[in-house]
Chains A and B, each alone.
Chain A
């Protein structure tokens, strides 16, 4: 409990889990009662990017790091137009940020977005519960008239959670739009960035809940980007005459996403294609693979992702509760190879096609938040598109093997 309680009366908040565990703390953000799958993220920086990542739709996110709000919020670090998560859980929240880019506080930011938060609870105990018992549904109540423990536990129990919900439909854009903004200019003194290639290519980015940094990284690789709604048909996409197709990250259970798989299957026949996170899972499903749910998922910026070809390990940002089962693709008769694995538990993190220009990655090469070690994927995509446009018959696996970082 922060000493701020001495300065202003705290608002009570309550987080009730489906297993009956209840955490009482202080409210911040909006007055609300929201339910969601409770997950944790181990990133020590980048709470604003996490809060605005549409992949967290349907989830209540717990930060394992304890000091949150230190650097406030700013417009450049938003990964989408608003927070999509259901709730935010922290150990200690800071109301007076210190950073030259801060334009507001996290508290106000979440309040305006209608997202409730709870602070002052034993977040480590909560994380250990999720780790040992698996992800589960929780209800976060900050409204003064909704602090009844048993009612909230009952509501958490009644919830069906993420499985079988098409959350993509809730977060995808309504209309296509063009994106041309590059990455944040950065700070004086940083490692100089390579200039974007002169020759430009056109990419269609399917928005399953896309993060802005992905769009920015594509622009930096010389792509003119058009973002399209998740259910845009293959015919409509191809009618725009793109040089490549990108499948974005997004929230929830890939198996529940409707009206997408078939389009992806068709697009994969015609265009070089690159998928990230949910996009990677949907590509897996489109090629006939199956998906499993992980016990508590990977959510953090310190995961070891190994490139099986080079043996090199990228420290990468991951955020997924589901994973593609590698064997299932073999079984479906696809010439797919696993290019990347998570060294912690062997989860499949990257796939590439042996004959067609397709590859995908489970983690987040755009990071944000997280280390930039895996940014090379965008370069691979650029190279694959360039060679395809030049009429070469190049496969995703060939790109993965021939790449010199």
Chain B
């Protein structure tokens, strides 16, 4: 069937901010869908609140709305744009849920918008636990015994038939939010209550556990002619019980005979038909009993997913792109396979390699969180590696993770009663946690059997034997006499060993191993990902390394630039950097260069095979990057766009003779090395908070004594404020030093005066070496001391004076010129009493580049890439700072809800996973939008609960008065209430949490509170006292503010919201780039 002619304009809904369970894979999918639909001549209208995405670039869609993703807001967009259809399946669970809400509230019908891709009935059948169960029974498939609960009482009755352990799965949530496994009767009610609260439908499935069974996923596509293909099979290394997003996963499936696999495939096809997914891709999950092969269906997602992004990268089959084309009427046989060109998309990819995905966790950011892996996803990113064998791909994936592992190193195991760590070892194997892989390898090193490890971990023996063989090879390598090492190199490299790991085994440096390898002429070759196991010629250079005979890289002799990506997403380094890398690739390709992307993160747009001319899906280690540089010989490498990951490689790459584009590695070092940077500031006569560098505890105490407490302490060379703390006294400093020195032993610790109540400012600028143009000045809403990545900010600044702004511009310009920046630079300042202090300079792309680009309507990363390739800002026509007349507010989004027991207070260590952007004509409205987008929708009336520390009493009065003027009632704890009353604001008294019944927590839980304003004194007792109140607000989704500045902004926003309804505008309209909508 050809393209549908009865629709012209299609609305796409993105997935909003990055949260655990929903990351940049949906930018990848959404961008593909936009491109595919426009390629077919449709107009695309896009809604997504996340500015750090390629899909929200004004070039990606015809109309781009960075607006709240609520029914109310999207209805306004629909009313303006009048789309014919809505494609609900590319924006993750968020997009799907919003589409369902739009349909169910009658918005779609009212405006004549048709759902394409998946109809409402199919979505309900797949997402509603009871309907799905009934559907499976109708087609004769098994599901684990279960029942649907809407209350704890109902759940109790279900438990009688299901038994313990029981899996609790809330309906309509993403990444398994609220899901858990109840092992003990006494924990069941609490877990179920929590899960019910997390479900937007207040509904949960309670299911008999199939813990320990094998878990498989099939990525399935169906077209309107009922053709069905399975794009990829995925087998989980971790057995059932660990969320698939937190499992190590492998493609293709490894431990099924054809007969068992085909039965699974038949079941997947039957499920697609029964659920009624008309067109597009779905993910179907199965559990298999390893004892007899019994097959049960776990769930299906009738949309593109994290797994479909992985499957696309793993096979070269672009699921989201094809799903978009199927949604507008094409059938699979009418769509060409881009990679082979000759063959149609109606086939099933055959792969001749093994793909391993390993999740990346950041429990170090949340020490109070439980790191046990369970049915609720907890990882924040992932890496994927391709090797010809499982062993090779696993070892490549390990070193891609950037968690300090170059291979299967021995874990540190605390000794208990002189057992050499055996108890600790088995504890790490019995319970899945992030480091289990290394514990398993250690078990084999210690001579334990595959059978025993399999029995205790439920990991399939096939995977375990591979690990056992790797450790056996390590033992053998260890024993090789020095003069025979060379002969073992090839064997080791074929099994995926890194030079660094070999160096560790042989007591040599990584450089020496590389030297020995190169002396023998041992270099990796590159194979192509071609969807077909080499059956047809591949025209797309999507490459991975291996140690074999034939190299298929076929480098060209064009002028080429290599871009190093950011590796796995983590807190502090996420999609913003991938956005910059993608922009660099686009700009340089347009400028006539061949672009070469290197990255190992399967979720990203940068690892889409058509983003760059050539894609190397490889770990971002010196060894792997150097090997690519050797074969490609680029005229320059861009390391400044991918965050800290590639930046760390700048110096070693330069030393190895690889040309680094833009700002020189020496200039980067001058900015990042404390002492060298102090010299820069002195030269320029710029101020910074007094401080110093300490290499020992004594030195740290001396610096602190000199400058006075409170001090801000942090290790040098970190991103995302890792291990950054504000310390109040010498006791705190001593505690910190014990922790920090362990966190980063090779690098000294910085100790700076903490500027309390200062305003922090971020400035992004581009320099071509002679001219510096400021992209944007962002005033933080939260005061200094909150990590810039966690603070909301406003562009343009909403309260800074002209004199301060002038100082900021002047300092930024001089810093860029003094450092010799070529490309992007970010400076963080603190402003206190009209004085400007430099906090730090990062001569690289910053997290705020996408936000600024969207706020000012100019693509900073693209401009910077062109500057790095030799153009001047004048040639690029970017010579003046653009100060927009509208306000843009960036707000951070946090994962607290996923981590029971974790406090929501903000500090100098970054904790947010994503961001949203609110744009409107004034600051109040823009801020209000940003709060709605961040899931913190402000009430326009009701009761505000106020409880702030003494120092904040006075500054609180004004915002509370504003709220009262808007009709709010006030509830306050004793001290706060007194001050308010003194200013004529009457407040209902409420007990603090530790003061007995009818306290703040009780009132929040009773639903008496609509907004919470709370600050706590920085001592652990005050924090502890108010913790349960913040947590209660979080769990109930009540907006809460923990800084005075945010309270002020919130009060202003409430006033703006009450004055008039808030409208929506597309980026194209805001920046005056709108093209006529008739094409």
Contact = CB atoms under 8 A, between A and B. Distances in A.
Interface of A: 1-7, 40, 42-46, 48-49, 64-67, 70-71, 74, 76-77, 91-92, 94, 96-101, 122-125, 127-128, 131, 184, 186-192, 300-304, 306, 311-313, 315, 343-345, 367-372
B550 interface: yes
B344 A46 contact: no
Question: Which among A48, A71, A91, A369 has the greatest number of chain B C-beta atoms within 10 A?
Answer: A71
20 contacts: A64-B350, A64-B534, A67-B389, A70-B462, A74-B257, A96-B450, A96-B465, A99-B257, A99-B260, A122-B549, A124-B550, A125-B548, A127-B534, A131-B535, A191-B141, A300-B533, A300-B535, A311-B333, A344-B342, A371-B265
A134 to B, nearest CB: 13
Contacts of B450: 96
B461 A96 contact: yes
B230 to A, nearest CB: 8
Contact of B295 (A122, A190, A192, A311): A190
Contacts of B533: 40, 42, 64-65, 124, 127, 300
A343 B346 contact: yes
A43 B350 CA distance: 7
Nearest to B390: A67
Contacts of A97: 462
Interface string B249-270: 0001111111111110111001
A344 B531 CA distance: 13
A1 B226 contact: no
A200 to B, nearest CB: 25
Contacts of B333: 304, 306, 311, 313, 343
Given A42-B350, A188-B142, A312-B226, A77 B257 contact: yes
B472 interface: yes
Interface stretch (B201-209, B351-359, B1000-1008): B351-359
Question: Which among A3, A186, A300, A304 has the greatest number of chain B C-beta atoms within 10 A?
Answer: A3
B346 A65 contact: no
A367 B266 CA distance: 13
Contacts of A312: 225-227
Given A44-B351, A131-B535, A191 B266 contact: yes
B476 interface: yes
Contacts of B462: 70, 94, 97-98
A54 B294 CA distance: 31
Contacts of A124: 352, 388, 527, 533-534, 548, 550
B388 A187 contact: no
Contacts of A187: 260, 263, 292-295
B83 to A, nearest CB: 30
Given A98-B460, A122-B549, A371-B348, A184 B259 contact: yes
B385 to A, nearest CB: 14
Given A42-B533, A368-B258, A188 B294 contact: yes
Question: Which among A46, A70, A94 has the greatest number of chain B C-beta atoms within 10 A?
Answer: A70
B257 A191 contact: no
Given A70-B462, A124-B527, A302-B348, A3 B469 contact: yes
The 9 closest A-B pairs by CB, nearest first: A46-B258, A64-B533, A189-B295, A125-B550, A369-B258, A3-B473, A98-B462, A187-B293, A192-B140
B534 A343 contact: no
B263 A190 contact: yes
B465 A313 contact: no
A45 B266 contact: no
Contacts of A1: 490-491, 494
Contacts of A77: 257-259
Nearest to A73: B257
Nearest to B388: A66
A186 B256 CA distance: 13
A100 B470 contact: no
B356 to A, nearest CB: 12
Nearest to A102: B257
Contacts of A92: 388-389
B349 interface: yes
B420 interface: no
Given A3-B495, A98-B465, A191-B139, 17 more contacts: A1-B491, A3-B473, A43-B258, A66-B388, A70-B254, A92-B388, A96-B450, A98-B255, A100-B293, A101-B293, A125-B549, A125-B550, A184-B259, A190-B266, A301-B348, A302-B347, A313-B333
A98 B461 contact: yes
Contact of B225 (A44, A74, A311, A315): A311
Contact of A344 (B391, B536, B549): B536
A191 B140 contact: yes
Contacts of A6: 472-473, 476
